[in-house]
Amino acid sequence: MTFWLSGPQFAQPGISRVTYGGRVINVGSAGTTSRRQLLRMIGSGGLVAGAATLAGCGAGHSGTETAAAGAPSAAAATGPATLMIVRHAEKPPGSGSQLGVDEDGTNDKHSLVTTGWARAGALVELFASARNPPPAGLLKPATLYAQLGGVGKGQRAVETLTPLGARLGQRIVTPFRKGEEAKLADELRTLSGPTLLAWEHKGISGIVAHLGKIDPAPPSSWPRTRFDLVWVLTANGSGWRFQQVPQLLLAGDSPDPI
């Protein structure tokens, strides 16, 4: 069964449709489901958690609190360090044909679009399914890190991990902003156990570059069109072992690495 969201092709900006299981939900138009109602469904695990399950069947994959700066989650696990990196989920296109919406349901160009919120919900099923372990190469995260948005810049990375944090009962650690990738890498190297990080795509290569020796070498950049991958770095002696794992959560997700 297929799950997808669409919006740019509709004539009126700000109106999107969520489609799953043959049911179409209009979001943002008069007399239909409001963005606030949709996000409440996401937060409660209703619409998006269910959609994530459907997406998992089709693709083959079986209120979060922001932490004080520099404070890792109390749930941090022992064992070899595994760093999993995702790009923040889908954002508004430059054309303005689809609007972002914050967690309260208010239009916000700096927040995720409805497709992005759907991916955020589907990440719950990918990393913390109640039925199956994560796909090969991934682990249930013991610690969640995300980029802290600047003033007026939104919190797309935090929004991307918000449903997963709610499922795991974990706060999202947000000690660093864009431009502080080297400091973040220094902190990540001190962690043990599995950690999941959400960041904007232009900064991910900078984080990886400051981690140390990596084999095989990761791509030099993250394409602006890809939201559907997980970069996985596993501690290996004095360096890291690198692999890419496709999410395969939403219609249109690619099985190909970068």
How far apart (Å, rounded) are the C-alpha atoms in residues 174 and 145?
6
Q: pTM for this structure?
A: 0.75
Position 150 scores a pLDDT of 64
User: What are the E-state strand segments in the chain?
Assistant: 3-6, 16-20, 23-27, 82-87, 143-146, 172-173, 194-199, 214-215, 229-236, 239-246
Confidence band, pLDDT 50/70/90 cuts, at residue 151? low
Position 152 scores a pLDDT of 60
How far apart (Å, rounded) are the C-alpha atoms in residues 223 and 221?
6
Beta bridge partners of 107: 101
User: Is the per-residue pLDDT at 37 higher than 60?
Assistant: no
Position 69 scores a pLDDT of 34
- DSSP calls for 84-97: EEEE------TT-S
How far apart (Å, rounded) are the C-alpha atoms in residues 101 and 206?
28
Position 230 scores a pLDDT of 98
- Residues 197-216 have a mean pLDDT of 96
Position 55 scores a pLDDT of 34
Residue 131 contacts residue 124 (beta carbons within 8 Å): no
User: Is the per-residue pLDDT at 173 higher than 50?
Assistant: yes
The 3-state DSSP class for residue 233 equals: strand
Each residue's pLDDT tens digit, 211-251: 999 999 999 999 999 999 999 999 999 899 999 999 999 99
Residue 156 contacts residue 88 (beta carbons within 8 Å): yes
Nearest to 170, CA basis, from 40, 31, 77, 38: 77
User: Is the per-residue pLDDT at 147 higher than 80?
Assistant: yes
